[in-house]
């Protein structure tokens, strides 16, 4: 049995870096929709990485709390609903959020210069980033932070440059919202033949989250997004042959061997006592009571005996004739005269005698008043086994009826259900009857419609509840396998608070290969790679197939490389080779590549300055072999005509 532990997302605040960095250092930011990775071009590794999140209270009056950004967010699971990101899919669209992220980045880099960030910026952007988005990004960086220059580059190409692959590469970049398939021939990106699959880590996390929620509706609170992300990151794998694995999982033994369990915290509940235990408890209690009374009797007897002895001594004084001592003794014991003494002596003696008799008898257990209820008697002319079967069936029938009514009640309570809408349809039909043609009530069946639309007749009937009790009584006596429903439900046991995670670990990453599983009509990765390859000549295809390069944070699933190999084997001509490379660090290589770009002495050949921005227009940017191509947004045709005139 494999128990796994799922951890919630915990953020630790970053320290503010020392400033200034070495001269001419550029700020290097891999601005991904999942995570932002930041450092100087002189840094050995990213100085800090953080989820691109800001947490902002929605309501005006809650605004007392400042907006929390990145890793400064405390209790991230508690405020999931407040989290905002600057991204829409893989494109930055919300620039107010991006501004706050930049504040966080430059602030944590320790920048303290006045009214400017005097460092070139190397920033990643997505493939075919819309001009509108890039323009606003440049505007933000130049106008608000007064940076000297900007260089935009692709994360996946930068990652490729960090790894030694051949000059012809087919990059498959697995991101948080998208997967890009990027053909590169002779180190040149073939921009027109790049394709993007709109499925990524984000979809997978939400998919597995919802799957688990639907599987365990009772543990809704425990299934946090952070835990599901941990599950996806550390326990999921890509299946090499999905159909084959499905067959394996359908086997009960395989299931038992491979199932992974998560134990949720729970409070141990005392199991309800069985009838026998109750009886035992009562017996113990009565035994204790008997002991107490015996002890009390012993004490009383001892007291009485002592008193009797004293009185005999006084009586002896009388017999001896010592009247003075006798009178004195009477007085000491609060007695009036000889008669009283005699009376008392007799009463004490009888009392002591009675106690002695009682004690000499064995303790009588308190009579068991509650006898077990008489076993129900089977009806004549039927064997007990048959009878039990019959009762069982009747019982499950009632349960089913109850279940059905419960479901109907729940459905009727909601508006958008078939049951509720059917009811509304009947009601409106009843009300619609035109004047004069109304013959409602002529037939007795007409009135049945009220039974259909009534909500009240759905309550469980008393008769049925009584029958149920009766049946359960019968089963308790005659069915050895009978389990009390209150015990059988298992609430409060460790098992009840366990999550079983089986096929889900393969089902979720399979979304990449079969987006139809989440209702998307797009081609899966295998199909998409084939589609991209088909756009090339046979010779180019062979070159590309021998340099398939996996990168991106979501490219780290175990089995992904093997699966891609299977897919390539399927699509490629018989007996043609293919080769798959995986980035050394699929998540961070993009940042390292960007940093290498920032270290280049000719960085300015890849960058554009604030002057360019003013002279060539806000959407202008320097295009180069590691980034997007510059296509000027076309001006609307009408204006062109006017210009020609």
Partner 1 sequence: MSEETHPCFKRATIDTPQAGGKKKVWKGLKQILQTDKMLPWPEEAVTYSSLNPPPSFFPAKKYSDISGLIAPYTDPTTKLHYHNAEEYSTVKQLPMDLTAGYLALRGASSIVG
Task: Pick between residue 411 and residue 562 the one whose CB is nearest to partner 1.
Answer: 411
The answer for residues whose C-beta is within 8 angstroms of residue 413's C-beta and 6 or more apart is 420
The answer for residues whose C-beta is within 8 angstroms of residue 134's C-beta and 6 or more apart is 125, 152, 619, 621, 628
* Shortest Å distance, C-beta 540 to partner 1: 19
Task: For residue 609, list its beta bridge partners.
Answer: 149
Q: Distances in Å between the alpha carbon of 123 and those of 174, 176, 181, 598? A: 19, 18, 21, 10
Nearest to 123 by CA among 100, 143, 144, 140: 140
Task: Pick between residue 93 and residue 493 the one whose CB is nearest to partner 1.
Answer: 93
* Shortest Å distance, C-beta 362 to partner 1: 58
Task: Pick between residue 63 and residue 579 the one whose CB is nearest to partner 1.
Answer: 63
* Shortest Å distance, C-beta 468 to partner 1: 18
Task: Pick between residue 131 and residue 587 the one whose CB is nearest to partner 1.
Answer: 131
Structure token digits, residue 264: 């949720």
The answer to whether residues 113 and 147 touch, using CB atoms and an 8 Å cutoff, is no
* Shortest Å distance, C-beta 458 to partner 1: 15
Instruction: Tell me the three state secondary structure of residue 50.
Output: strand
Task: Pick between residue 260 and residue 477 the one whose CB is nearest to partner 1.
Answer: 260
Instruction: Tell me the three state secondary structure of residue 624.
Output: coil
Task: Pick between residue 115 and residue 334 the one whose CB is nearest to partner 1.
Answer: 115
Q: Are strands 260-263 and 2-4 parallel, antiparallel or unpaired?
A: parallel
* Shortest Å distance, C-beta 521 to partner 1: 5
Task: Pick between residue 103 and residue 390 the one whose CB is nearest to partner 1.
Answer: 103
Residue 40 CA to residue 224 CA, distance in Å, equals: 35
Task: Pick between residue 41 and residue 133 the one whose CB is nearest to partner 1.
Answer: 133
Instruction: Tell me the three state secondary structure of residue 501.
Output: strand
Task: For residue 125, list its beta bridge partners.
Answer: 154
Structure token digits, residue 560: 């992904």
The answer for residues whose C-beta is within 8 angstroms of residue 521's C-beta and 6 or more apart is 515
* Shortest Å distance, C-beta 146 to partner 1: 5
* Shortest Å distance, C-beta 257 to partner 1: 17
Structure token digits, residue 484: 């009390």
* Shortest Å distance, C-beta 162 to partner 1: 24
Nearest to 144 by CA among 90, 200, 101, 208: 101
């Amino acid at each position: 049995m494999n128990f796994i532990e799922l951890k919630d997302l915990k953020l630790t605040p970053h320290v503010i870096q020392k400033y200034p960095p070495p001269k001419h250092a550029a700020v290097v930011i891999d601005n991904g929709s999942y995570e932002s990775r930041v450092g100087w071009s002189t840094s050995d590794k990213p100085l800090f990485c953080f989820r691109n999140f800001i947490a902002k209270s929605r309501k005006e009056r809650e605004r007392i709390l400042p907006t929390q950004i990145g890793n400064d967010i405390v209790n991230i699971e508690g405020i999931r609903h407040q989290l905002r990101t600057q991204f829409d899919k893989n494109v930055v669209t919300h620039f107010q959020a991006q501004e706050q992220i930049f504040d966080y980045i430059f602030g944590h880099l320790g920048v303290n210069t006045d009214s400017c960030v005097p460092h070139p910026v190397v920033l990643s952007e997505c493939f075919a980033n819309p001009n509108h988005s890039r323009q606003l990004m440049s505007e933000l960086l130049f106008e608000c932070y007064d940076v000297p220059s900007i260089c935009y580059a692709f994360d996946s190409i930068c990652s490729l440059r960090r790894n030694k692959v051949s000059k012809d590469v087919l990059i498959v970049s697995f991101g948080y919202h998208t997967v890009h398939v990027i053909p590169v021939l002779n180190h040149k990106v073939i921009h027109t033949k790049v394709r993007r699959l709109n499925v990524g880590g984000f979809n997978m996390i939400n998919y597995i989250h919802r799957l688990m929620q639907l599987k365990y509706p009772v543990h809704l609170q425990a299934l946090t997004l952070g835990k599901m992300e941990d599950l996806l990151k550390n326990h999921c794998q890509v299946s090499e042959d999905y159909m084959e694995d499905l067959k394996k999982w359908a086997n009960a033994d395989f299931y038992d061997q491979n199932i992974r369990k998560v134990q949720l915290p729970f409070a141990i509940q005392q199991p309800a006592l069985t009838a026998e235990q109750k009886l035992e408890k009562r017996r113990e209690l009565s035994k204790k009571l008997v002991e107490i009374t015996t002890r009390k009797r012993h004490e009383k007897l001892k007291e009485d005996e002592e008193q009797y002895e004293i009185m005999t001594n006084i009586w002896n004084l009388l017999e001896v004739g010592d009247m003075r001592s006798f009178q004195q003794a009477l007085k000491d014991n609060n007695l009036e005269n000889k008669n009283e003494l005699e009376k008392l002596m007799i009463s004490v003696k009888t009392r002591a005698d009675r106690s002695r008799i009682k004690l000499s008898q064995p303790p009588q257990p308190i009579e068991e008043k509650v006898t077990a209820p008489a076993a129900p008697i089977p009806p004549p002319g039927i064997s007990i086994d048959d009878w039990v079967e019959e009762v069982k069936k009747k019982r499950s029938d009632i349960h089913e009826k109850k279940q059905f009514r419960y479901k109907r009640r729940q459905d009727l309570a909601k508006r958008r259900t078939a049951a509720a809408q059917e009811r509304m349809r009947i009601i409106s039909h009843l009300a619609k009857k035109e004047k004069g043609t109304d013959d409602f009530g002529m037939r007795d069946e007409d009135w049945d419609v009220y039974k259909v639309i009534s909500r009240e007749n759905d309550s469980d009937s008393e008769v049925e509840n009584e029958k149920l009790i009766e049946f359960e009584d019968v089963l308790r006596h005659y069915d050895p396998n009978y389990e009390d429903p209150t015990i059988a439900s298992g609430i409060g046991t460790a098992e009840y608070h366990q999550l079983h995670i089986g096929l889900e670990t393969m089902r979720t990453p399979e979304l990449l290969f079969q987006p139809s599983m989440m209702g998307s009509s797009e081609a899966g990765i295998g199909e998409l790679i084939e589609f991209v390859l088909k756009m090339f000549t046979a010779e180019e295809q062979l070159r590309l197939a021998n340099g398939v390069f996996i990168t991106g944070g979501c490219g780290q699933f175990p089995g992904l490389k093997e699966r891609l190999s299977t897919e390539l084997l399927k699509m490629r001509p018989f007996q043609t080779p293919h080769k798959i490379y995986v980035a050394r660090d699929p998540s961070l290589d993009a940042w390292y590549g960007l940093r290498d770009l920032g270290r280049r002495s000719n960085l300015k050949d890849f960058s554009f300055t604030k002057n360019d921005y003013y002279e060539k227009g806000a959407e202008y940017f320097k295009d180069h072999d590691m980034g997007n191509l510059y296509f000027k947004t076309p001006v609307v045709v009408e204006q062109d005509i006017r210009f020609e005139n």
